[in-house]
Copies of this chain bind each other. A is one copy, B any other.
Amino acid sequence: MAVDVEELLSGLERGERRALARLLTLVEDGDPARLREIIAAIHPRTGRARVTGITGSPGVGKSTLTNAIAGELRAQGRSVAILAVDPSSPFSGGALLGDRVRMQGHHADADVFIRSMASRGHLGGLSFATPQAVLVMDAAGFDDIIVETVGVGQSEVEIAATADTTIVALAPGMGDGVQAAKAGILEVADVLVINKADRGGAGQLASELRGMLEMGHELEDPDAPPGWWPPIVRTVAVRGEGIDEVMAAIEDHGRHITSTGARDQRQRDRAVHTIREIALETVRRRFARLGAGDDERLQALADRVAARDLDPYAAADELLAALDSAG
């Protein structure tokens, strides 16, 4: 199938949604030569959007929160793109998107662009594809990009953590606080949101979180520069309550990272993440080609491992040594 990438790129520059949607599909497909062409072409025009990450366990109301925030941003006259990353929905990309479009309700307008990305294809696909999808949205000229990820694994947390501002959403009564802390999710939070705060237990969750933040603070390096204390905001996103406080927290945090130079550091961190994922994906493809069965070296190693003549670590060493020397 012939895809005219150049045509799509000029469509993107003209602000065409269809071109944007098709470029995002190409990013998801992950063809390396095409991605290289796309990213190289758009990269000079990126770096202008404000990127907000929203993460949290299933069921805390992330989508509702995301939509409410998008509505606020639209009310401020800002254009918004939402990237909903859901590694647990390989089958339901379409359905999810449908739900979200319906959910948007009165916020549905041409300046909110929503894209769902589900795990499919290769290993580590979302860590690889997400930053590049954000670059494409950024090049499309959106003022705000919201990356919503289900906080189910370290990789999703990492994705969220590459945003300018990362919101960790929780809900009372899910036993979530302590477990989020254990999973390291609290560490990436710039803003903590207790959604569904009209339920019992919101106050207790807030004190729990405050206690954990204080504990974390005491452990910090006393010589570190004065940091950011993540505010804890209560919302009932489904009724739009507390969303203005969330917006204020995002803006406060934005000013904080600008004045301390942390914004530039986050841009660099995001670049590190993106470069590393591209490099890893390149290596992964080398290995996948080897594993396809046409590589005699790997097959010979596998035969010896299957015969219990060599253990898999020794085999991996031999494989890497062979790859390294092949350059």
Q: Does more than half of chain A's interface fall in helix, strand or loop, or is it mixed?
A: helix
Range for the number of chain A residues in contact with chain B: 35 or more
- Tell me whether A208 is interfacial, beta carbon within 8 Å: no
Known: A88-B152, A152-B87, A152-B119. A316 touches B271 (CB 8 A): no
Least CB distance from A170 to B in Å reads 12
Contact with B along A129-152 (1 / 0, CB 8 A): 001100100000000000000011
Contact, CB under 8 Å: A268 / B46: no
Give the interface segment out of A107-115, A229-237, A284-292.
A284-292
Q: Is A74 an interface residue (CB 8 A)?
A: no
**Residue pair A119, B298 in contact (C-beta under 8 Å):** no
Q: Which residues of B contact A121 (CB under 8 A)?
A: 154
Please tell me which one of the listed residues B155, B302, B314, B320 contacts residue A272 in the complex, with CB atoms under 8 A apart.
B302
| Residues of chain B with a CB closer than 8 A to A179's CB | 91
Given contacts A90-B152, A283-B283, A327-B324, contact A275 B305 (CB under 8 A): yes
With CB as the reference atom, state the residue of chain B lying closest to A158: B123
Question: Does the CB pair B268–A303 fall under 8 Å?
Answer: yes
Contact at B123–A43, with CB atoms within 8 Å?
no
Which of A10-18, A32-40, A197-205 participates in binding chain B?
A32-40
Are A308's CB and B278's CB within 8 A? Answer: no
Least CB distance from A222 to B in Å reads: 20
Give chain B residues whose Cβ lies under 8 Å from the Cβ of A122.
154
A124 interface residue per 8 A CB criterion: yes
Q: Indicate whether A57 reaches chain B with its CB closer than 8 angstroms.
A: yes
The 21 listed contacts between A and B (C-beta, < 8 Å) are A35-B313, A36-B313, A39-B311, A39-B312, A43-B308, A43-B312, A47-B306, A123-B155, A124-B124, A125-B153, A132-B312, A264-B306, A268-B299, A268-B306, A270-B306, A271-B306, A275-B298, A275-B315, A278-B315, A279-B323, A324-B327
